[in-house]
Chain A
Amino acid sequence: MKYVYDLHKTMLARNLILIYEGEFTQEITKSVLAMAERNMDSMGEESSIKRKVFNVMVECLQNIVKHSDEYNPLTEKRHTAIFMIGKHDEEYIITSGNPIKNENVDGLRERLERINGLDKEGLKTLYKEIIKNTALSDKGGAGLGFVDMARKSGQKLEYDFEKMNDRYSFFSLKTTISRSTTGE
């Protein structure tokens, strides 16, 4: 039973206020959002910071909902992802991790590198270009989620790909939102 205490200590050490591991659906997304909102409300968080955290959370969670079917539960053992929020004195850290197909790693890495290579104006231009010229995907995504997360956070997106097996890699994504309201 020591793992319970170990997990508890890890959460405290990393200032994690919420972890969800499991299947991701729209209903789960709403529940996780409601919990995080209540948590921020009870701590008296500034509304502008709350909105940014909410914003990044939605894009992050809905990304997982839309892409989780890539991990087929009939052929693989598990079909889950992880989402967490860390709250520090200076910032909120929103992280997620989910399996993606190995063949999609390079394309995803390129998109994220392109976004991280842009400044505020560049991101705005890219956003407008995508919204004008791109139709919704068959999964209902606008292709704008990462761009929006980068814009709302005002900081670079951090990411990593860890190879799981010859078919899947684990994609981790970290977005930081500053708690100082003065600037970006």
Chain B
Amino acid sequence: MEILNLEGAEDTPKIMLDKANGIFEISGRSLPEDSAEFYQPVLDWLEAYGASPNPKTEFVFKLEYFNTASSKLILDILSKLEDIDGMTVTWYFHEDDEDMEEAGEEFSELVDIPFEFKTY
């Protein structure tokens, strides 16, 4: 499967989806002008991945900031992950960032996927 690798920018996150090496990560800042358009390739990639996933998948969110339009798309991503067997989410937050910790907890309450929380 092809690797999806997007360089981060000041308003878009860095994204690495690499089935062969087992790397699934979204990190940085997310406040694109059009969040639906920006995340569509990620949703498409996950749709294809879901057809023949690795036995175990650890999906990492390491976000410094995301806007509300992105939060809607993060939930869409999580909904896709929910349908894939062997899925776990690791939600990183900066150790003094309670809002990011709480955001992760809220997402974990909205989908049926095991979440692990880690600080950086």
Contacts and interface: CB of A to CB of B under 8 A. Distances in A.
A and B form one complex: yes
Interface of A: 26, 29-30, 34, 47-48, 51-52, 54-55, 58-59, 62, 65, 124, 127-128, 131-132, 134, 136, 140-142, 144-145, 147-148, 152
Contacts of A58: 31, 65, 67
B33 interface: yes
Interface string B52-85: 0000000000000101110110010000000000
A62 B67 contact: yes
Contacts of A127: 106
A113 to B, nearest CB: 20
A132 B97 contact: no
A184 B34 CA distance: 32
A18 B34 CA distance: 26
8 contacts: A48-B98, A52-B99, A124-B106, A128-B109, A140-B33, A141-B69, A142-B71, A144-B71
B110 interface: yes
A34 B35 CA distance: 20
B10 A30 contact: yes
Nearest to A65: B33
A29 B99 CA distance: 22
Contact of B69 (A132, A142, A152): A142
A134 B75 CA distance: 12
Given A59-B68, A141-B69, A145-B68, A48 B106 contact: no
A48 B109 CA distance: 24
Given A52-B99, A140-B34, A152-B99, 4 more contacts: A51-B99, A58-B31, A58-B67, A144-B69
Contact of B68 (A30, A54, A132, A142): A142
A66 B113 CA distance: 33
Task: Indicate the member of A26, A140, A145 with the most B CB atoms within 10 Å.
Answer: A140
Contacts of B34: 140
B36 interface: yes
A140 B36 contact: yes
A161 B109 CA distance: 37
Contacts of A131: 71-72, 75, 110
B91 to A, nearest CB: 16
Given A128-B110, A132-B110, A136-B35, A148 B11 contact: no
Nearest to A134: B72
A124 B99 CA distance: 12
Contact of B65 (A55, A136, A144): A55
B75 A55 contact: no
Contact of B96 (A48, A128, A144): A48
